[in-house]
Amino acid sequence: MGEEIAQTSFGPDDFLKFRDRLAAETDLLEKTLRDGLFSEEGYVIGFEIEAWLLDHNFFPHPVNQELIKKVAHPFLVPELSRFNVELNCAPVELSGDALSRVCRSLSELWSEINGVAHTLDTNMVMIGTLPLIQDSDLSLSNISPSPRYEALNNAVLEQRGGKPVEVEIEGADRHHSSHDDFMLEAATTSFQIHLQTPGHLAHRYYNASLMASGPILAASANAPFVFEKSLWSETRIPLFEQAVPLTNTQGLGRVSFGSGYLEGLVSEVFQENLETYPVLLPVEFDQAPDAYRHLRLHNGTIWRWNRPLVGFGSGGQAHIRLEHRTLPAGPTIIDMIANAAFYFGLVRFMIDTGFDEKAALAFQDARGNFYEAAKLGLEADLDWPGYGKVNARDLVLKELVPAARRGLTAFGVSDGDTYMDIIAARVESGRTGAQWQRDMLSSLNRDFRRLMSVYCEEQRRASPVHQWSGK
């Protein structure tokens, strides 16, 4: 969904033409994968950081257009709302000191852009959900000026027959809200990880990503508060799923954990897209089928928490990469790179040991782990082969951190221990971003503004969250 479109309204013929093009491209994708013609190169990584723009009182500040114009950097782009932006980085081969190099480059870019933001009386902040956001902030008056977002909002509401979007989340507190648009999605910000894999292994990395999602999320939670209420450890998950309340013909949401493991090629996901998900944006492109423009656009309107993507290298050859979308923004860049290291290492270990192919972890257990981790963070009890039900903290420390270290070594990463040490220290202390926020808010007598003041000050120091001040 990153590319811009020109149209905002469509007729029946547009949908028919799009479906024909989409079907042809889906068939071509499967054939090309079976023939081994997708890139077999790997492994290349990339990242997206979604950030908040806040005023001096830590409320949303809708100035992304002004900031983007002033910065004029290709790696800074708008998000759905005027108070969010997205930072990107150039793709990097996963080897040597790649993680440290990316950490430095993202830190430098963040510092540069935040310096410009300060000239607009704005502070950029990385946090999964903003505690002080209000329902009134999430209105079309704050939508970024883009035909893509306008068309998507129209399509979501049209498919719902004009019914409002209802959100109901229960944690320590309970939140209910109703919106006549899809702007609730803007209340969540993520750290999205991309991993390009050899074409013939893409389905295995997809399955491994599903298996790894729960425990990684438990160790990385950073979204306990929104609308000044205490909800899940990772409130982003139910909030995003309910903010786009559309389902496919099988009753599965457009934002979901997926329908199951893949049996063969990653093209099974795209076949499911074609057969079960109604088209939202039937934009017709005048390009050959092997550009996969219609397939890529349709896939971009289906937000699986782990999503395969089709891309192209500098030589023009198509490749598959996995987009791991489960993780929150923040608390710091070094925390996020540590989360990414955990993901890369763990899925590689699963591939190398055949854990994914044995399907030792049933899909329903992988899905259950994901939502338990989102609710309870490190306090969650997860299903895991050889353990049965096991506390997330114990599982990560005893089993998964050592496994991820081995996986990073297999990639040829030389600085993996630096980042896995951060994960181990965070989990051992129990201080995820979510837990730090909860502890700090309690010590501040539930003063959310003071919480954000301390959070932003600690984020500026750039130390990993387990080293932050507080309890």
Q: Residue 306 CB: number of other CB atoms within 10 A?
A: 24
| pLDDT given at position 180 | 93
| Closest C-alpha among 168, 174, 169 to residue 234 | 169
Beta strands 225-226 and 190-197 are: unpaired
Q: What are phi and psi of 195, to 5 degrees?
A: -135, 110
CA distance 317 to 357: 28
Kindly list the structural domains of the chain, giving each domain's residue range(s) and its CATH number in brackets, ordered by start: 12-467 (3.30.590.20)
Average pLDDT of the chain to the nearest whole number: 96
Which pLDDT tens digit goes with each residue over 179-223?
A: 999 999 999 999 999 999 999 999 999 999 999 999 999 999 999
Which pLDDT tens digit goes with each residue over 245-272?
A: 999 999 999 999 999 999 999 999 999 9
Query: How many CA atoms lie within 13 Å of 298's alpha carbon, on the beta-carbon side?
Result: 28
How far is the first Cα of the chain from the last one, in angstroms, to the nearest whole number?
41
Residue 35, pLDDT above cutoff 90: yes
Which pLDDT tens digit goes with each residue over 86-97?
A: 999 999 999 999
Q: What is the dihedral of CA 378, 384, 390, 391, to 10 degrees?
A: -10
Which pLDDT tens digit goes with each residue over 334-381?
A: 999 999 999 999 999 999 999 998 778 999 999 999 999 999 999 999
Is this prediction's pTM over 0.75? yes
| pLDDT given at position 7 | 77
- Which residue bears the tokens 């599982």? 395
Which pLDDT tens digit goes with each residue over 270-292?
A: 999 999 999 999 999 999 999 99
Is 378:432 a contact under the CB 8 Å cutoff? yes
| pLDDT given at position 470 | 79
| Closest C-alpha among 333, 358, 203 to residue 270 | 203
Residue 67, pLDDT above cutoff 60: yes
Q: What percent of the chain has pLDDT over 90?
A: 96
Residue 1, pLDDT above cutoff 50: no
Least reliable range by pLDDT among 4-18, 269-283, 403-417, 444-458: 4-18
| pLDDT given at position 4 | 66
Look at residue 8 and give its three-state secondary structure: coil
| pLDDT given at position 359 | 72
In sequence order, which residues have a C-beta less than 8 Å from that of residue 224 and are 6 or more positions away? 129, 171, 230, 231, 232, 233, 234, 235, 434, 437, 438
CA distance 273 to 318: 19
| pLDDT given at position 2 | 53
CA distance 195 to 93: 10
Least reliable range by pLDDT among 20-34, 127-141, 148-162, 401-415: 148-162
